[in-house]
Each structure stands twice: as structure tokens, then as C-alpha cells.
Amino acid sequence: MTAIIVAFLVIVIVEGFLWRLFRWRTKDVISWEEGDTPLSRFIRVGRIDIFAIIHTLILLIIIESFLFFTW
């Protein structure tokens, strides 16, 4: 159980840090370019943000289920 929680926190923190760093590095350059997705009318999310969320979720699913069945 501890391993699963630690893995969850590590993944979320590291992926979140990289995503925030990316957003900070782009500042105004990318944000307007990525604003025109169908979702962006509702929740102001660009394509890269969606990819970062999906990547994090997939990693969490793979690693957490791997730990759950093998630890």
C-alpha cells in the first residue's frame, strides 16, 4: 500500500513539475496557438495539456496496477 501511494505521489509531482515548467518556458508563445481545440471553448485546455493529462493517467494506471499485482 505504501509503495502504491509513494509511486502515485512521485508520478503526479514529477509530471506536474515538467508540465508547469513547460508552460512557464512557453509563456505566451504556445498558449494562443493551442487554444483552438473543441474542448477549449469549455475548459480552456490546449492539446498539449490534454496529452500531459492522458500521459499521466496512463502511467498511473500501468504502474499502480503493476505494483498492486506484484508487490
Site residues for another protein, 3-62, by CB under 8 A, read: 3, 7, 10-11, 14-15, 18, 21-23, 25-36, 40, 43-46, 48-49, 51-52, 55, 59
Residue among 55, 45, 42, 58 at smallest CA distance from 16? 55
CA distances from 44 to 37, 47, 50, 67 (A): 9, 10, 10, 34
Binding site for another protein (CB under 8 A): 3, 7, 10-11, 14-15, 18, 21-23, 25-36, 40, 43-46, 48-49, 51-52, 55, 59, 63, 66-67, 70-71
